[in-house]
Amino acid sequence: MTEIGTVLYHFPVLDSTNACAARLLSKIRLKPGTMITADYQTAGRGQIHRGWHSAPGLNLCLSCILYPDIRPHEQFQISMVVSLAVQELVAELCKNKPVTIKWPNDIYVGDKKIAGILIQNSIKGTEITSCIAGIGLNVNETDFPPELPNPTSLKLESTESHYRHLQLDDSIDINAVCEALTEKLNHRLTFLQSRTIQLQNDYQQVLYRQGTLSCFKLSQNDRRTGTIQSVDDLGRLQILWETGEPGAYQHGEIEYV
Ligand code: BTN
């Protein structure tokens, strides 16, 4: 079974831990569960060709290499595993606050984003040949660039009494956070394939804005109001529009407003 974190490569500076993982994978076969971390990324990558901001030395930037034994049409399971692991850790540290997964895999505390996940799968035919699961978790950053819409961090959301076991001087120990997350990831990985229904149920339980009337943008001139019903097996967001029409959308086809 894949054990995340038994091999760890740590770098003070990298362009991106996901990019580094991809470069390594193009040359050698890395041990399943290999982890790459960096104190600072000069070209952190986000979803849909966006970047990822993380101030030097303040946050967790990590990528894990997996070789999941699932078919390409099941790849949303990886997203659920990783986002549930991060959600669980953040929820433990931000007790009494709503910690949710904004579809497909952003982690929110209230209406603020605390972590982002970028999963990059390599697919050949009917096989996922490798998967790079990148996680950016804001830990000690408290002053974010103004252009970021709604960022937050563990330091801003958690209280000392909840992070005392992960404390280092005045801040939260990023290595300890990484270890705690590794444990959650290893636990959640055991759900892959065999406990899909439980993964789906757990994911729906903490789905941001589920059941709440919300506004979405489908294209420049197409904004609609509807209610999130669930996420289907293929990872599509299912919405019931206020017109009574149902819809199912892939990542990138729809945006929250
Ligand atoms: C997003 O919300 O857009 C996804 C952000 C993912 C950021 C992490 S940080 C570690 C890993 N390396 C990267 O370049 N990106 C991911």
Q: Whose CA is nearest to atom 11 of ligand 1?
A: 134
- pLDDT of 149-167, one tens digit each? 999 999 999 988 888 888 8
3-state SS record for the chain: CCCCCCCEEEEEEECCHHHHHHHHHHHCCCCCCCEEEEEEECCCECHHHCECCCCCCCCEEEEEEECCCCCHHHCHHHHHHHHHHHHHHHHHHCCCCCEEEECCCEEEECCEEEEEEEEEEEEECCEEEEEEEEEEECCCCCCCCCCCCCECCHHHHCCHHHHHHHEECCEECHHHHHHHHHHHHHHHHCCCCCCHHHHHHHHHHCECCECCEEEEEEECCEEEEEEEEEECCCCCEEEEECCCCEEEECCCCCEEC
Q: What's the confidence (pLDDT) of residue 159?
A: 87
- Nearest protein CA to atom 16 of ligand 1, as residue: 134
Report d(CA 214, CA 225) in Å as an integer. 6
Q: Domain 213-256 adopts which CATH fold?
A: SH3 type barrels. (2.30.30)
- The atom number, within ligand 1, closest to the CA of 43 reads 14
Stretch(es) of the chain classified as CATH 2.30.30.100: 213-256
Provide the sign of the torsion angle of the four alpha carbons 69, 70, 75, 79, taken in this order: negative
Residue 113 Cα: closest atom of ligand 1: 2
Q: How far is the CA of 34 from the centre of ligand 1 (A)?
A: 17
The ranges of the chain with pLDDT < 70 are 1
Mutate to test the pocket of ligand 1, among 16, 49, 83 (most ligand atoms within 8 A of CB): 16
The CATH superfamily assigned to 8-205 is Bira Bifunctional Protein; Domain 2 (3.30.930.10)
pLDDT for position 22? 98
- Taking the CB of residue 240, how many other CB atoms lie within 10 A of it? 14
HSE, side-chain direction, 13 A CA sphere, residue 156: 18
Expressed in angstroms and rounded, the spacing between residue 50 Cα and the centre of ligand 1 is 9
Give the pairing of strands 8-14 and 35-41: parallel
Residue 158 is predicted with a pLDDT of 93
* Residue range(s) occupied by CATH 3.30.930.10 in the chain: 8-205
Q: What is the pLDDT of residue 133?
A: 98
